[in-house]
Amino acid sequence: MNKIKFSIIKCLVIFTVIFAGQAIQAQQLPLLNQNREVLNPASISSDYFKYNLPTTVSLRYRYQWTRLDGAPRTIMGSFSHLAEDYNFTFGGDVIKDQTGPTGFTGIYGRAGYLLDLSDDFSLSFGVKGGIVQYNVKGSELDFLEAGDIANTNLNTIYPDFSLGVMLYFQENYYLGFSVPQVFDLDLEFKDDVNDYTIQRVRHYYGVVGGRFELSDDSYIELSSEARYVENVPFYINGRVEYEYEQLFYIAVGGSNAREVNLGLGVIGNIGDGNALKVGYNFTNFFQIYGPNFGTVHELNASYSF
C-alpha cells in the first residue's frame, strides 16, 4: 500500500507527483495583511480606536507565489462589531482557499468580551468556531499505483476552533496571543491500494504594536507578529504604516524569511465620518538559498461605520 501523507500548508502541495511516505511541511493558514481578526478572534478593529467606528465589513483577495502552476488563491469576507454598551464583540468570516488540487472552504462565527482593568488597561478575550470543508481533486494527483482515490474528488467536513487574548494600553498600544487552530487535524482517505492523509499542526501567534497620533488626524502604527510551529523555523515580521488625514495610507514591512512587503491604499470619508478603504499589498522574497516561488499580490477593501 502506498501511504501518501499530505500537510495542507500552501507550499509544494501543488506538485502532483508525491512519493510513498513523504510528508510536506509549510504554512497552513493564509496570511492576509492588515486583518488580525483572522489569526486572533480577540482583536478589535483599529478603526474603532481611531475613529470610534464599531462595525467593519471587509473583503480580501490574495494571489500567492505567482511563479507556480496552481498557486494558492484566497478570498475572504469578514464582519466584526463591538457593542460598546456591553463591551461585547462578535462577527464572522467566510473563507475560500485553493492550492492546486487541494482546497478548503470555511465559515466561522466569533465572539469576545472587552474587560476594563483600569482607566488605561483593557483585556479582550475572543473565541472563534466554525466548520471547514476540505477537498482534494484525486484526478490531479499522481499515485504510484492506480486506485479509487486517484479517480475521485474527496470531500470531508471538519470543525475548527480558535482562541485569542489581547491586552490594550490607552487604546493605542496592544499585545496579543492566539492559537488559530486549536484542534489538530488528521483526516485519512483510503482504498485497497492507496492511503491519503491530511495532517494539520497547531500554530501559535503573537502580536505587539502601537499607534501614535500625529497632527491633522494622521497616524503612524508600528507592529510586529511572530509565529511558532513545532519543527518549523521561528517566524517574525515588522511593519510600519502611515495614514494621512483619512485620505490615504502607505505601509512597508519585512520578516526574517527575507520577505519585503509594500502596501498602499486610499481612504474615503463617507457621510457621518464612516470610512471606506481600498488597498493593494505586494510582497517579494529575497532569500539567498532555496526556491523562489514568486511574488504575492493582495487586494483589500473595508467599510467601517
Sign (positive/negative) of CA torsion 144, 146, 148, 152? positive
* Residues 237-279: tens digit of each pLDDT: 999 999 999 899 999 999 998 899 999 999 998 878 899 999 9
Number of domains in the chain: 1
Measured distance CA(100)–CA(11) in Å, rounded: 10
167 touches 121 (CB < 8 A): yes
Q: Provide the pLDDT for residue 169.
A: 97
Bridge-based pairing state of the strands 73-83 and 296-304:
unpaired
Q: The domain containing residue 31 runs over which residues?
A: 2-304
Q: Provide the pLDDT for residue 27.
A: 41
Q: What are the grid coordinates assigned to 197, written together? A: 492523509
Q: Provide the pLDDT for residue 182.
A: 83
Q: Provide the pLDDT for residue 142.
A: 55
Measured distance CA(213)–CA(202) in Å, rounded: 36
The ranges of the chain with pLDDT < 70 are 1-35, 138-152, 184-199, 288-291
Measured distance CA(6)–CA(13) in Å, rounded: 7
CB within 8 A of 2, min separation 6: which ones? Answer: 20, 143, 144, 145, 193, 194, 195
CATH number at 299 reads 2.40.160.40
